[in-house]
Each structure stands twice: as structure tokens, then as C-alpha cells.
């Protein structure tokens, strides 16, 4: 079993995991972690920050009991070889334990491991605010058993304490490079966050093994195409604007050369409401037009107008593509969602979707009609619709 540390919007992270590990038994541990019986490649997941292999489940959350269990840990679970230098540290989530106690346990473990017949050169990475930062884990390579280890303790909602060892963590520098270093970036069209692009691709159940292209019919600067290239999936981007098509072609040329990945993509100009796509489509992953960036919340009338336009565009696109994809094709679509009181502007109804020939994908642990991606300070968020062609 593995623990996955989920992103800020846990529902979306859970939906992504369900799409990637459909047969697995997923258990929600708390509002930051889920347990899954499969190893999923974190590098291609947008919604999970850390993956850790579960070593044990403990019933007693007292510091003394946790210390006893950690000091009895089998060193082969932490380090690959015996005679090397290693860094290690401990992160706790949801436990009432002071940093001093965490660091004290780590130092005692260091002493104990040094006394073994096959001693190691160990250094403790100090924990602040209960857990090591992603930067500490990355910098000290604590996810790599040839370099170090991070022990993770998570207290679940049910009182069980999961003891795990980190097996992978999101590489934030790599994400920043894939985002900010692109030749063409544009804050006006509002580029899709890289992690959300990965989530859309996964929610659409796209895969390098499936035949056909992942279509992004509103491709903008090509974020979805780029992340498909990164995952080895053929991608097909179209956009109504020839400038956007040129810009995304430039971005993709830069990216495929930089990462030395095959340029398995096609980009062309096309109106999503009337275009005929010439390549076979395995899945749709896209972010629709979000409208102009808003500094303050528009009036209710303006929201109504923007929302109506967006829903019309979505309806026309869904009607146009319906005859061009096979039954069962999954479409993961980010549409704009404007804040209204404590809720969000509405999207086309389930009945309208039925009439257009689509249903919502269903998830076991989240409501598929209520997936919204928004930052606290944003007025416009994104509603993530995961639809299936009937
Ligand atoms: C929010 S942007 C997509 C951004 C993109 N996901 C990215 O990361 O750069 C929406 C795009 O939809 C395009 N667009 C608007 N109406 C369209 C239509 N009817 N058909 C195709 N593209 C359209 C715009 O030109 C714009 O590039």
C-alpha cells in the first residue's frame, strides 16, 4: 500500500487517482493523504505531491510508542546499501508531537544505526513545523534509497497511524521550467497550470498504449500538448487563433528538443464548434476559453452573460465533436467557474448533456459534478467536467 499526499484540492487529486488506478481500493486517510494499493508514477500525476510506501499501521499515537516503533525499524527499508553516506529525516502529519521530540527520535535512530555491525554515515535533516519541506526532501534526495530516506507518519481520521517511507516527490524545479521557460507565455489568455494539464490528461484516461491522439480543441499555447509529449502520448491541438497555433508550435518545438522527446503532435487552426479533425481521437483534454482576466468580481449580470456565452460554446463544441469520437471516449474539460456568493456559476445541466449524448464519468469517492479548481484569491476558477460519450 502507498500513501499519496494530495494537492490543495483533494477532490480533484482523488478523481485523478481513481482514473489512474481504477481497480485499486482507495482509502481517504485525512484531508491531505489517501492510501492506494498501487504504485502510480508520480512524475505524470498533477494532483499528488508525494508518494510513500506504507511499512506499518500503528494503533497507539503516544510519542513513546512511535519512538519504540521507529527505533525498531529494519534499516533495509530505509537505505539501499550499508557503507554509504545517507541523509534522513522524519515528517509527521496530524500527530501531536513537538519538533524537538521528532528530531530527538531521529538522533536516537542515527545512534542506533551507527552501532550496528554494518554502520552507515548518517546525517539527520532537521524537521521544522512537524514535517520536512519539499525542498529539503528534494535537495537531500530523501526519496532515493541510495542517497537518503524520509520517514512519514500520518494520523488518519480513524485514529490509525501510518508509518511510511517516501518513494517519490514532485520535482518543483522541473515544473517551473516546463511552465515559465517556454518561449511563448501569455497571462492574458491565462495559461493552464501544468499540474492541471496533467490532471486533465489523466482524467481523460489518455495513455501511450491507446491508439489515437489526445485532442485539445482550445489548445492556446499548447500546455496540454506539451504534457502529452512529456508522457509519450500523441496529441492533436487546434485553436481558432492562427497566432496561438504559431505560438504553441514554437513552444512544442522548444519542449521536445529540450526534453528530447518525440514530436508526436499535430497543431492546426480550427473553430472547435465546426472543425473536422482528421486524426483518430482517443480522448479529449482541454481548457475552454475563460474570458478576459478579472481583477474584481463582475456584477451578477456580467457573470450571467459570461456564463451563458461559455455554456453556448461548450454546447456547440460537444455537438460538433459527438459524431467524430467513439462511444466511451472520455472528455476532461476545464470550463470557467465564476464565484457567486458561496458557490459557482452553473454549467449546462445533466439533462442537456444527456440530450447532447454525454454522461458524467462517475467516481466512488468524489462528486463528479462538483470538481472546481480555484485559488483563494481568484475570481474565476475552473470547473472540471469529466464526460463520457454515450
Ligand atoms: C484559455 S485559452 C486555452 C489556454 C491553453 N490551455 C494554454 O495552456 O495555453 C482558450 C483558447 O481558446 C481559443 N478559442 C476561443 N474560441 C474558440 C473556438 N471557438 N474554437 C477554438 N478555439 C477557440 C482561444 O484562442 C484561446 O487560445
pLDDT tens profile 265-275: 999 999 999 99
C-beta of 225 in contact with ligand 1 (< 6 A):
no
pLDDT tens profile 287-309: 998 776 666 778 888 888 999 99
Looking from the CA of residue 271, the nearest atom of ligand 1 is 20
Per-residue pLDDT at 316 exceeds 90: yes
| Mean pLDDT of the 270-290 span | 96
* C-alpha of residue 348 to centroid of ligand 1, in Å: 19
* C-alpha of residue 4 to centroid of ligand 1, in Å: 32
Least confident of 115-119, 177-181, 256-260: 115-119
Task: Note the pLDDT of residue 364.
Answer: 95
Q: What is the set of domains in the chain, with CATH numbers?
A: 2-170 (3.30.2130.30), 177-389 (3.40.50.150)
Least confident of 18-22, 271-275, 386-390: 18-22
Mean pLDDT for the chain overall: 93
Task: Note the pLDDT of residue 293.
Answer: 64
Looking from the CA of residue 223, the nearest atom of ligand 1 is 8
Per-residue pLDDT at 118 exceeds 80: no
- Residues 222/192, Cβ–Cβ less than 8 Å: no
Per-residue pLDDT at 150 exceeds 80: yes
pLDDT tens profile 45-94: 999 999 999 999 999 999 999 999 999 999 888 988 766 789 999 999 99
Query: Which amino acid residue places its CA nearest to atom 3 of ligand 1?
Result: 220
Task: Note the pLDDT of residue 318.
Answer: 98
Task: Note the pLDDT of residue 342.
Answer: 80
Task: Name which of 373, 361, 2, 3 is nearest 195 in CA terms.
Answer: 373
- The residues, any chain, with a CB within 8 Å of residue 14's CB and separated by 6 or more, are 6, 26, 28, 34, 47, 363, 365, 366
How far are the Cα atoms of 26, 36, 204, 364, 375 from residue 23, in angstroms, in the given order? 9, 10, 16, 11, 31
pLDDT tens profile 350-387: 999 999 999 999 999 999 988 999 888 777 889 999 99
* C-alpha of residue 55 to centroid of ligand 1, in Å: 46
* C-alpha of residue 378 to centroid of ligand 1, in Å: 20
Selected residue with higher pLDDT from 367 and 118: 367
- The band of 345, judged by pLDDT with boundaries at 50, 70 and 90, is confident
Q: Is 305 left (phi over 0), alpha (psi -120 to 50) or beta?
A: alpha
* C-alpha of residue 222 to centroid of ligand 1, in Å: 10
| Mean pLDDT of the 5-18 span | 95
* C-alpha of residue 119 to centroid of ligand 1, in Å: 59
- The band of 343, judged by pLDDT with boundaries at 50, 70 and 90, is confident
- Match 491522439 to its residue by C-alpha cell: 213
What is the best residue among 220, 230, 252, 269 to mutate for testing ligand 1's pocket, by most ligand atoms within 8 Å of CB?
220
pLDDT tens profile 205-223: 999 999 999 999 999 999 9
C-beta of 265 in contact with ligand 1 (< 6 A):
no
Amino acid at each position: 500500500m502507498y500513501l499519496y499526499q494530495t494537492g490543495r484540492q483533494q477532490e480533484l487529486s482523488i478523481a485523478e487517482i481513481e482514473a489512474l488506478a481504477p481497480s485499486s481500493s482507495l482509502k481517504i486517510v485525512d484531508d491531505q493523504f489517501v492510501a492506494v494499493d498501487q504504485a502510480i508514477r508520480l512524475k505524470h500525476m498533477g494532483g499528488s505531491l508525494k508518494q510513500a510506501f506504507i511499512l506499518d499501521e500503528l494503533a497507539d499515537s503516544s510519542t513513546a510508542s512511535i519512538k519504540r516503533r521507529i527505533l525498531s525499524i529494519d534499516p533495509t527499508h530505509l537505505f539501499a546499501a550499508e557503507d554509504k553516506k545517507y541523509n534522513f529525516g522524519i515528517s509527521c502529519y496530524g500527530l501531536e508531537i513537538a519538533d524537538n521530540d521528532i528530531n530527538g527520535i531521529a538522533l536516537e535512530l542515527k545512534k542506533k544505526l551507527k552501532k550496528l555491525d554494518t554502520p552507515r554515515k548518517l546525517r539527520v535533516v532537521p524537521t521544522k513545523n512537524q514535517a520536512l519541506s519539499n525542498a529539503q526532501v528534494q535537495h537531500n534526495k530523501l526519496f532515493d534509497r541510495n542517497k537518503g530516506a524520509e520517514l512519514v507518519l500520518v494520523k488518519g481520521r480513524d485514529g490509525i497511524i501510518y508509518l511510511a517511507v517516501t518513494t517519490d516527490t514532485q520535482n518543483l524545479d522541473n515544473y517551473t521550467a516546463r511552465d515559465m521557460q517556454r518561449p511563448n507565455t501569455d497571462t492574458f489568455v491565462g495559461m493552464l497550470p501544468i499540474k492541471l494539464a496533467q490532471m486533465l490528461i489523466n482524467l481523460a484516461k489518455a495513455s501511450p498504449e491507446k491508439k489515437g491522439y489526445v485532442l485539445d480543441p482550445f489548445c492556446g499555447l499548447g500546455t496540454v500538448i506539451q504534457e502529452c509529449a512529456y508522457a509519450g502520448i500523441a496529441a492533436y491541438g487546434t485553436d481558432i487563433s492562427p497566432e496561438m497555433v504559431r505560438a504553441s508550435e514554437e513552444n512544442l518545438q522548444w519542449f521536445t528538443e529540450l526534453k528530447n522527446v518525440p514530436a508526436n503532435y499535430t497543431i492546426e487552426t480550427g473553430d472547435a464548434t465546426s472543425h473536422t479533425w482528421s486524426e483518430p481521437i482517443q480522448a479529449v483534454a482541454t481548457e475552454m476559453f475563460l474570458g478576459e482576466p478579472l481583477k474584481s468580481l463582475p456584477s451578477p449580470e456580467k457573470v450571467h452573460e459570461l456564463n451563458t456565452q461559455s455554456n453556448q460554446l461548450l454546447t456547440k463544441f460537444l455537438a460538433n465533436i459527438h459524431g467524430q469520437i467513439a462511444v466511451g471516449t472520455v472528455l476532461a474539460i476545464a470550463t470557467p467557474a465564476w464565484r457567486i456568493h458561496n458557490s459557482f456559476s452553473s454549467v449546462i445541466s445533466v439533462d442537456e448533456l444527456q440530450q447532447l449524448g454525454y454522461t458524467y464519468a462517475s467516481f466512488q469517492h468524489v462528486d463528479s459534478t462538483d470538481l472546481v479548481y480555484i485559488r483563494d484569491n481568484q475570481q474565476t476558477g475552473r470547473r472540471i467536467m469529466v464526460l463520457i460519450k454515450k
